[in-house]
């Protein structure tokens, strides 16, 4: 593993595939020009709209999303995480899928989100992800990259379930992806502290691409795409505007923190 720059992209995706992919390419281009070698796109990067529209267009969205991530990775010579897009299971449900692709356009890892967001919030929004999404049945993978370190996958609501990240850290993760479309209502109180907790308890970097702003109707995301180091320090925060958070991933810092705070070695219960 070497030192390198990573980028967490922040978007305002809407119910329009073409507009979203155009926005994503602009931000990937920006990240690559600033020297990023690892780029994360947020959950729902290619489509964020009504559930019925997502299901109706799922096959088109899935094909376009995979092709886009592979093309961008090759074009800009970066490793990219497509942080979440629908992949059809049947005519009524999809998997919420994260896809990791290297600079040659080769698929490295794929994960179907296992924790589904079914919540009624006081701000008037009701989320029932399970109505259209089928939960994955496999724990997320850790991809071992010689240059970029061991990369652990997750998606959004997973961040509230620390046992998933313990699985990733015990399988050698150096960096945890948390691509999200975190709600504005919960994000203001929980987003950063959850990301910092996952970084600290697992002594890992966290790369958290995010959605921001208003997408359609009442749907409004928190923003604050971030990169956090293993001590819990926020290295970069994109705020609430469309943009990119960029920071260095440094193996010496990782080793330093793990040496100073070897908590994973002190675990008593498996």
Tokens of 10: 């922040």
249 CB-side CA count, 13 A: 30
Determine whether 204 is an active site residue.
Answer: no
Catalytic residue among 37, 54, 156, 204: 156
Catalytic residue among 37, 43, 54, 70: 43
Determine whether 156 is an active site residue.
Answer: yes
Catalytic residue among 54, 70, 113, 204: 113
Cβ count within 10 A of residue 104:
11
Q: How far apart are CA 28 and CA 39, in angstroms?
A: 7
Residue 237 near residue 70, CB atoms below 8 Å: no
- Phi, psi at 116, each rounded to 5°: -105, 140
Residue 69 near residue 99, CB atoms below 8 Å: yes
**Residues identified as active-site:** 43, 113, 156
């Amino acid at each position: 593993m070497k030192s390198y720059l990573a980028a967490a992209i922040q978007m305002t995706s809407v119910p329009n595939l073409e507009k979203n992919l155009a926005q994503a390419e602009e931000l990937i281009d920006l990240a690559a020009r600033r020297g990023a070698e690892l780029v994360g796109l947020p959950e729902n990067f290619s489509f964020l709209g009504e559930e019925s529209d997502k299901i109706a267009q799922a096959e088109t969205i899935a094909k376009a999303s995979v092709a886009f991530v592979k093309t961008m990775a090759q074009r800009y010579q970066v490793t990219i995480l497509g942080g979440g897009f629908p992949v059809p299971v049947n005519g009524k449900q999809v998997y919420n899928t994260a896809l990791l692709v290297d600079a040659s356009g080769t698929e490295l890892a794929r994960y179907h989100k296992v924790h589904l967001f079914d919540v009624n919030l006081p701000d008037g929004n009701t989320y029932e992800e399970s109505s259209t999404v089928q939960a994955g049945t496999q724990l997320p993978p850790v991809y071992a990259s010689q240059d970029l370190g061991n990369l652990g996958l997750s998606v959004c609501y997973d961040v509230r379930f620390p046992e998933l990240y313990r699985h990733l850290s015990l399988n050698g993760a150096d960096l945890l992806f948390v691509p999200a479309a975190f709600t504005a209502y919960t994000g203001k109180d929980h987003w950063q502290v959850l990301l910092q907790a996952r970084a600290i308890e697992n002594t890992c970097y966290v790369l958290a691409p995010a959605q921001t702003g208003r997408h359609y109707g009442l749907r409004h995301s928190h923003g604050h795409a971030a990169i956090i180091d293993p001590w819990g320090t926020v290295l970069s925060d994109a705020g609430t505007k469309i943009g990119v958070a960029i920071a260095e991933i440094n193996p010496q810092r990782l080793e330093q923190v793990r040496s100073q705070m070897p908590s994973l070695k002190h675990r008593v219960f498996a």
